[in-house]
Structure 1
Amino acid sequence: MSIPVPVLLTLLALSGCHAAALLHTSNLLKESIRLLDELQEAKVSCDKMNVTNVFAGNKQDNDLETLCKATTVAWESRSCHRHLEGIFLNLLRLVQRKSAVYKAPCPVAGGSTTSLNDFLRDLHRALQQLVKGQSLK
Structure 2
Amino acid sequence: MSTSFSVLLAFLALLACHSHEAAVLERSIFLKESIRLLGEILSTQVSCEKTNVTNVFAGNETDTDMELLCKASTVVFESLGCRKALKGIYLNLLHIVTKSTDLKAPCPVAAGNTTSLQEFLQGLHRALQRVAKENL
User: How high is the TM-score relative to the length of structure 2?
Assistant: 0.93
Shift of 1:52: 0.2
Deviations for 1:87-130, whole angstroms, at most 9, x for unmatched residues?
11111111111111x22111111111000000000000010011
User: Any stretches of 5+ residues in structure 1 without a counterpart?
Assistant: none
Larger radius of gyration: 2
User: How high is the TM-score relative to the length of structure 1?
Assistant: 0.92
Question: Which residue identity is paired with 1:127?
Answer: L
C-alpha distance in structure 2 between counterparts of 1:13 and 1:126, whole Å: 31
Shift of 1:42: 1.5
Task: Kindly report structure 1 stretches of 4+ aligned residues shifted beyond 2 Å.
Answer: none
Give the aligned CA root-mean-square deviation in angstroms: 1.4
Q: 2:21 — aligned with what?
A: 19
Report SS of the residue matched to 1:4: helix
Q: For 1:1-137, list aligned pairs within 5 A.
A: 4-100=6-102, 102-134=103-135
Task: Name the count of aligned residue pairs.
Answer: 133
C-alpha distance in structure 2 between counterparts of 1:103 and 1:7, whole Å: 33
Question: Which residue identity is paired with 2:130?
Answer: Q
User: Any stretches of 5+ residues in structure 2 without a counterpart?
Assistant: none
